[in-house]
């Protein structure tokens, strides 16, 4: 079996498949580990990790992107691609005796908005998500320090003897740098444009495009994350950038539609509806809202039926808890509040042995045809004492058994009469 190597110190880590977070026995650093994969994938990830630690970020990314083609649901691969994108190399710190990420690539897009980071965060493993978020927040701080250093390199490049350029000229120059994806140079131009005209939205808009690493404002509609995190976005809107307001609504609409179509839970559909609602006024927004409502009702019914099946067939605390969670999420849909109460009672009593026996006896009673069936059901209801309506069902069993006996006597009497009468009738004939 191939052992996974620590992404910080590159020593072997021994872990079980049930784990998602472990602590390296060599460097003592806590880290996420791959979802269960083959030895071949582990070997490839080890090789890519070594390349990243050698600052061969492009080569490491190529390995991870190849792995991603066959492992699209593995959040660890997405996270490793994030580390490559932001040039993360882990270095030792003798003062606190742990390995910390050091950024070697300047990117203006926040790691918290990176598409690969957002895909990694879709994992249902809460401890893994918490690990990714904490490390991403630290990397984000390191990135901002690196960008300040890069900005200082461009601060003195303007020749003071050529005159002071106007804000419009600086914005135009910044847009040219954007088109060439020269983010640092563009950021420098837009910063100077803001200094020259603080109340003009164009400089803030340009810095937003640098932040999102977009070549033009039209590409804002393709952004897959919330722009409101950005001070530049909020300032540009406050200063009256109408074009940004329209395009950001289209971005919300596109994100809402995408989330709605891939939604697997009511919370996803609720988030999609919120995004689409904010895009009201855009063409097609109302139609998408109606479709989102229809999908919500359909998913509610599916979840309701699923929770009912789980509750009816549950044999463990985990299953009844799962049913309870679904009914709770459904809130006032149908009789979900009553179902929540029933699930809580089951959890409180924690008496699955008697519940299973009760269900078994009820099933036997419902299908009973012979004395032995009624006897079996009666014995179980009698052993359950006062559990639920067992005394009532016990009486029902005994009553039906007596009725079956009475019916049998009548049938046997009828048969006997027929057998006695037929020979007499034949003799008279």
Whether residue 193 is predicted with pLDDT greater than 60 in this model: the reply is yes
Determine the pLDDT at residue 159.
44
Position 160 confidence tier, pLDDT thresholds 50, 70, 90: very low
The pLDDT tens digits for 204-247 are 999 999 988 889 988 888 888 888 878 889 999 999 988 888 99
Cβ-based neighbours of 326, under 8 Å, separated by 6 or more: 303, 304, 306, 307, 310
Whether residue 161 is predicted with pLDDT greater than 60 in this model: the reply is no
Determine the pLDDT at residue 387.
79
Q: Residue 34 is encoded by which pair of tokens? A: 């791959």
Cβ-based neighbours of 72, under 8 Å, separated by 6 or more: none
Asked whether the beta carbons of 88 and 111 are under 8 A apart, the reply is: no
Q: Which residue has the higher pLDDT, 263 or 416?
A: 263
Whether residue 158 is predicted with pLDDT greater than 60 in this model: the reply is no
**What's the whole-number mean pLDDT along residues 277-298?**
91
Could you give the C-alpha distances from 424 to 345, 413, 416, 429, in angstroms and in order? Answer: 67, 17, 13, 9
Phi, psi of 103 (to 5 degrees): -85, 130
Position 2 confidence tier, pLDDT thresholds 50, 70, 90: low
Determine the pLDDT at residue 94.
65
Q: Residue 31 is encoded by which pair of tokens? A: 């880290």
Counting other chains too, the contacts that 366-374 makes at CB distance below 8 Å and 24 or more residues apart are 368/397, 368/400, 370/404, 371/401, 371/404, 371/405, 374/398, 374/400, 374/401, 374/404
Q: What angle do CA 136, 139, 142 make, to 5 degrees?
A: 155
**What's the whole-number mean pLDDT along residues 166-192?**
89
Determine the pLDDT at residue 293.
92
Counting other chains too, the contacts that 85-89 makes at CB distance below 8 Å and 24 or more residues apart are 85/57, 85/61, 85/114, 85/116, 86/111, 86/114, 86/139, 86/143, 87/55, 87/57, 88/52, 88/139, 89/52, 89/53, 89/55
Q: Which residue has the higher pLDDT, 386 or 246?
A: 246
Asked whether the beta carbons of 253 and 316 are under 8 A apart, the reply is: no
The pLDDT tens digits for 13-65 are 877 666 778 888 787 788 887 776 678 888 888 898 999 989 899 999 999 98
Whether residue 311 is predicted with pLDDT greater than 80 in this model: the reply is yes
Per the prediction, the chain carries an average pLDDT of 83
Whether residue 275 is predicted with pLDDT greater than 70 in this model: the reply is yes
In which residue are the tokens 């036997």 written?
Answer: 364
Position 151 confidence tier, pLDDT thresholds 50, 70, 90: low
Domain boundaries, the chain: 265-349, 357-428
Whether pTM exceeds 0.85: no
The three-state DSSP-derived secondary structure of the chain is CCCEECCCCCCEECCCCCCCEEECCCCCCEEECCCCCCHHHHHHHHHHHHHHHCCCHHHHHHHHHHHHCCCCCCHHHHHHHHHHHCCEEEEEECCCCEEEEEECCCCCCCHHHCHHHHHHCCCCCHHHHHHHHHHHHHHHHHHHHHHHHHHHHHCCCCCHHHCCCCHHHHHHHHHHHHHCCCHHHHHHHHHHHHHHCCCCHHHHHHHHHHHHCCCCHHHHHHCCCCHHHCHHHHHHHHCCCHHHHHHHHHHHHHHHHHHHHHCCCHHHHHHHHHHHHHCECECCHHHHHHHHHHHHHHHHHHHHHHHHHHHHHCCCHHHHHHHHHHHHHHCCCCCHHHHHHHHHHHHHHCCHHHHHHHHHHHHHHHHCCCHHHHHHHHHHHHHCCCCCCHHHHHHHHHHHHHHHHHHHHHHHHHHHHHHHHHHHHHHHC
Q: Residue 135 is encoded by which pair of tokens? A: 């490390």
Q: Which of the residue ranges 75-89, 306-320, 402-416 would you say has the lowest mean pLDDT?
A: 402-416
Q: How far apart are CA 5 and CA 42, in angstroms?
A: 9
Q: How far apart are CA 119 and CA 108, in angstroms?
A: 19
């Amino acid at each position: 079996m191939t052992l996974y190597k620590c992404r910080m110190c590159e020593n072997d880590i021994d872990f079980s498949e049930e784990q998602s977070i472990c602590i390296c026995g060599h460097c003592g650093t806590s880290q996420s580990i791959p979802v269960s994969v083959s030895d071949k994938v582990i070997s490839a990830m080890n090789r890519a990790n070594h390349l990243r630690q050698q600052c061969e970020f492009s080569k490491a990314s190529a390995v991870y992107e190849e792995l991603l083609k066959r492992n699209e649901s593995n959040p660890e691969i997405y996270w490793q691609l994030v580390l490559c994108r932001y040039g993360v190399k882990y270095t030792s710190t003798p003062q606190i005796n742990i390995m910390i990420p050091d950024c070697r690539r300047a990117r203006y897009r926040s790691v918290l908005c990176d598409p690969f980071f957002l895909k990694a965060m879709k994992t249902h493993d809460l401890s893994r998500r918490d690990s990714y978020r904490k490390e991403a927040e630290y990397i984000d701080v390191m990135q901002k320090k690196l960008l300040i250093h890069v900005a200082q390199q461009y601060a003195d490049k303007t020749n003071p003897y050529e005159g002071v350029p106007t804000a419009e000229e600086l914005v135009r120059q910044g847009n040219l740098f954007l088109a060439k994806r020269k983010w640092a140079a563009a950021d420098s131009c837009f910063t100077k444009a803001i200094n020259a005209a603080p109340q003009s939205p164009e400089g803030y808009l340009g810095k937003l495009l640098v932040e999102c690493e977009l070549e033009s404002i039209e590409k804002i509609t393709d952004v897959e994350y919330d722009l409101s995190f950005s001070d530049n976005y909020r300032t540009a809107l406050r200063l009256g950038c109408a074009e940004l307001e329209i395009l950001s609504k289209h971005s919300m609409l596109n994100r809402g539609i995408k989330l709605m179509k891939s939604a697997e839970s009511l919370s996803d559909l609720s988030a999609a509806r919120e995004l689409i609602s904010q895009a009201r006024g855009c063409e097609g927004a109302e139609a998408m809202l109606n479709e989102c409502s229809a999908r919500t009702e359909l998913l509610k019914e599916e979840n309701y039926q699923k929770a009912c099946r789980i509750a009816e067939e549950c044999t463990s605390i985990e299953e009844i808890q799962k049913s309870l969670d679904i009914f709770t999420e459904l809130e006032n849909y149908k009789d979900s509040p009553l179902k929540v109460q029933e699930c809580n009672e089951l959890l409180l009593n924690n008496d699955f042995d008697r519940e299973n026996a009760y269900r078994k006896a009820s099933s036997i009673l419902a299908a009973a045809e012979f004395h032995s069936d009624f006897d079996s059901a009666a014995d179980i209801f009698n052993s359950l004492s006062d559990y639920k309506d067992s005394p009532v069902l016990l009486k029902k069993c005994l009553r039906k058994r007596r009725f079956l006996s009475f019916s049998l006597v009548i049938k046997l009497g009828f048969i006997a009469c027929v057998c006695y009468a037929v020979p007499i009738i034949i003799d008279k004939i």
